Amino acid sequence: MVPSKSLKIVVCIKQVPAVPDMKIDPATHTLVREGVPSILNPWDKIGVEEGIRLREKYGGEVTVITMGPPQAKEAVLECLAMGADKGIILSDSTFAGADTIATAYTLSMQIKKMIYDIIICGRLAMDAETGHVGPHLAELLGIPQICYVKRVDVDIDRERVIAHREVEEGVEIVEAPLPVLLTVMKGLNEPRLPTLKGVIGSRRKEIRVINSSELGGDMSKYGLKGSPTSMKKVFPPPLRKPKMILQGDPKEVVESLVQVLLREK
């Protein structure tokens, strides 16, 4: 049967530092990224995989979009090599220093110009772990959201998504009309590795780089200036003074540890 409709899918991705415990520049309050390799945020990779699987099932097109510096092209190429069709990079010094609200505004300005049925975001990005951009974006686009998705089915005739999502008490099965925004969890799928053919093919796929003047919109809502929140200062975490350090012969150490623990009770 030929599906009555194919799916236009947009996956929002982010390139993040590969290392969890980043140094911070005390003057600018920014992460010191020099010498630290970057990777595609693992949750976003799951999003890209799900987008490709939905396209394979229902037909359509997968576009990945990111706001970031020019180097973000590496992450976009990785998605194209996996099988996404097109890439868009929103890149401009005006966008720098954006908090989650300004980031979502920037993404929304581009996505509003596109035709879409499903938008997929990672549940979080590994570097800051706010998980805010997905819900912000759904609100700015005025579409429903389904967060923490662990399974997706599309009822293409009724133009609805049925998803399993994680909540504290277990799994919620929910339904929402297209267009819809999903944030995806680990466990939804096992992302494929790009094949050699995919890598070669990715070089011929379209990547558009869009700056602020092409994007248009309200310039005061971009980047640092458009961010309601900002960092005032950074300081070292408070230390609890250790009461006791035990070292030396393991047998004796364990003996003393058990003694003190029994006294604590």
Partner 1 sequence: MSEDTIKEITDFSGYKGVWVFAEQRDERLKNVGLELLSVGRRLADKLREELVAVLLGHKVEELADELSAYGADKVILVENELLKRYTVDAYVKALAELSLKYKPSILLIGGTLKGRELAPRLAARLGTGITSDCTDFDIDEEGYLVQIKPFGKLMAEILCRTRPQMATAKPNIFKKLEQDRSRKAAVIREEVKISPEEIHTKVIKVIEVTNNPYENIENAERIVAGGRGLGSKENFKLIYELADVVGAAVAGTRSVVDRGWLSANQQVGQSGKTVAPKLYIAVGISGGAYHTVGMQNSEVIVAINKDPNAPILQMATYGVVGDLFKIVPLLIEKLKRIQR
Ligand X SMILES: Cc1cc2nc3c(=O)[nH]c(=O)nc-3n(C[C@H](O)[C@H](O)[C@H](O)COP(=O)(O)OP(=O)(O)OC[C@H]3O[C@@H](n4cnc5c(N)ncnc54)[C@H](O)[C@@H]3O)c2cc1C
Q: Which stretch binds partner 1 (CB under 8 A): 56-64, 67-75, 165-173, 201-209?
A: 165-173
The answer to whether the CB of 140 falls within 8 A of the CB of 104 is yes
Alpha carbons within 13 angstroms on the beta-carbon side of residue 61 total 11
> Which letter does DSSP use for residue 70 in this model?
G
Q: Which stretch binds partner 1 (CB under 8 A): 54-62, 88-96, 173-181, 191-199?
A: 173-181
Q: How far are the Cα atoms of 51, 82, 169, 244 from residue 104, in angstroms, in the given order? A: 20, 25, 29, 48
Is 219 a binder of partner 1 (CB under 8 A)?
Answer: no
Is 231 a binder of partner 1 (CB under 8 A)?
Answer: yes
The answer to whether the CB of 204 falls within 8 A of the CB of 84 is no
The option from partner 1, ligand X, none interacting with 99 (CB < 5 to 8 A, set by class) reads: partner 1
Residue 225: closest CA among 90, 29, 94: 94
- Cα–Cα distance for residue pair 187/164, rounded to 1 Å: 12
Q: Which stretch binds partner 1 (CB under 8 A): 67-75, 86-94, 163-171, 197-205?
A: 163-171
Q: Which stretch binds ligand X (CB under 6 A): 23-31, 78-86, 125-133, 185-193?
A: 125-133
16 φ, ψ (degrees, to nearest 5): -130, 155
- Restricted to residues 148-187, the positions that interact with ligand X (CB under 6 A) are none
Q: Which of 128, 176, 199, 207 binds ligand X (CB under 6 A)?
A: 128
> Which is nearer to partner 1, 204 or 232 (by Cβ)?
232
Is 99 a binder of partner 1 (CB under 8 A)?
Answer: yes
Q: Which of 1, 2, 20, 248 binds ligand X (CB under 6 A)?
A: 20
> Which letter does DSSP use for residue 72 in this model?
G
Is 129 a binder of partner 1 (CB under 8 A)?
Answer: yes
Q: Mention every residue, 6+ apart, whose C-beta is less than 8 A from residue 88.
A: 63, 64, 65, 66, 110, 207, 208, 210
Q: Which of 2, 21, 70, 228 binds ligand X (CB under 6 A)?
A: 21
Residues in contact with ligand X by CB under 6 A are 20-21, 127-129
